[in-house]
Amino acid sequence: MKLSDLGEFGLIEKIRRATPQGTGVRLGIGDDAAWVECRKPTLLFTTDGLLEKIHFNLQWTSLKNLGWKSLAVNLSDIAAMGGEPAYFLLSLGIPVDFKVEDIDKFCLGLAEAASEYGVSLVGGNTTASERLMIHISVMGYAPHGAIKRSGGKIGDDLYATGTLGDSALGLKILKRKRKRMREIERFLASRHERPSPRVDIGKRLAKEGLATAMIDVSDGLIQDLTHLCRSSHVGAEIWSDAIPLSKAYRSFVGKRDPIYALNGGEDYELVFSVPQKRARRLDRLKRLFKTPVSRIGKFVEAKKGIRIINSKGETVTVPLSGYDHFKL
């Protein structure tokens, strides 16, 4: 069956049924606006879109994983503020000849992410379009205040969650469109298709008042670090040997070359700064996290810019190629 047979109201009903209503929702999908309970005094809002042939290609991305990812990338922005996501809106533009089974797969991935992170779909919009367009807006709470990009100080240590560069390698692998993948290739592809926003870590860092500045890595470590440095009026020194690389990364690349970790986007890990005097408190906290947290460098004076230093203490030049939407 095609979307044109299902119709707009059939589509909305399908989405409503696929994503069960969570707590705090007084009125979800089906009225002129959503009505929800606000359980904390301050709110965070964010929005992000995934457009076919700009952000994803259906030739190598499954609809189910796309459903997961479109919500996950938004949750990552709430995580990067130290927040707690609560509700979201979904605006879909879908070609009329789209298969209904594919919409079901998309909804399944979306519902999996919603349930994993405890967020409720409360409304949105649907429209016909030439290509698939997915826009999501998430509303969350900042129960412990928000961690901004601008609070970093010279001398603060820099940390990263998880491992970096896996998503960029995963995309390379997916583009080959091979039916069979080795285990390490499957792992890397899944890091690209199903990122894990670090909501728990972000929230805990806010609660403990440990991080002075934070961002999530969506456009590549160097690019996102540049945003952090500009907002905090500092420079950064990154130790290339300290950049966390997964076993699959090292095995796929064949050596410990962090180039994909530095320039590859869409890892959705957190990068944050902590004053040195709070390092021991962070060490104790790290044991509670399932995801590793690695110290990768420190903030230095702004005039030094961002430098990558190798184990011999030499400065390594890295060509900047992080993602910029408006550069051709």
* Interface ranges with Mg ion (CB under 5 A): 77, 216
Cβ count within 10 A of residue 53: 10
- Give 215's contacts (C-beta < 8 A, 6+ positions apart): 80, 149, 224, 225, 227, 228, 270, 271, 272
Query: Smallest distance from the beta carbon of 140 to Mg ion, in angstroms?
Result: 13
Name the residue nearer to Mg ion (CB basis): 123 or 165. 165
Residue 68 CA from chain centroid, whole number: 11
Name the residue nearer to Mg ion (CB basis): 66 or 78. 78
Q: What angle do CA 4, 61, 74 make, to 5 degrees?
A: 90
Name the residue nearer to Mg ion (CB basis): 157 or 216. 216
Name the residue nearer to Mg ion (CB basis): 29 or 213. 213
Q: What angle do CA 31, 37, 42 make, to 5 degrees?
A: 125
Name the residue nearer to Mg ion (CB basis): 185 or 224. 224
Query: Smallest distance from the beta carbon of 77 to Mg ion, in angstroms?
Result: 4
Query: Smallest distance from the beta carbon of 82 to Mg ion, in angstroms?
Result: 13
88 touches 135 (CB < 8 A): no
152 touches 130 (CB < 8 A): no
If DSSP codes are grouped into helix, strand and coil, which group holds residue 240?
A: helix
Query: Smallest distance from the beta carbon of 216 to Mg ion, in angstroms?
Result: 4
Strand partners for 307: 237
Name the residue nearer to Mg ion (CB basis): 3 or 44. 44
Query: Smallest distance from the beta carbon of 217 to Mg ion, in angstroms?
Result: 8
Query: Smallest distance from the beta carbon of 156 to Mg ion, in angstroms?
Result: 19
Q: In this structure, what are the phi and psi dihedrals at residue 189, rounded to the nearest 5 degrees?
A: -65, -40
If DSSP codes are grouped into helix, strand and coil, which group holds residue 112?
A: helix
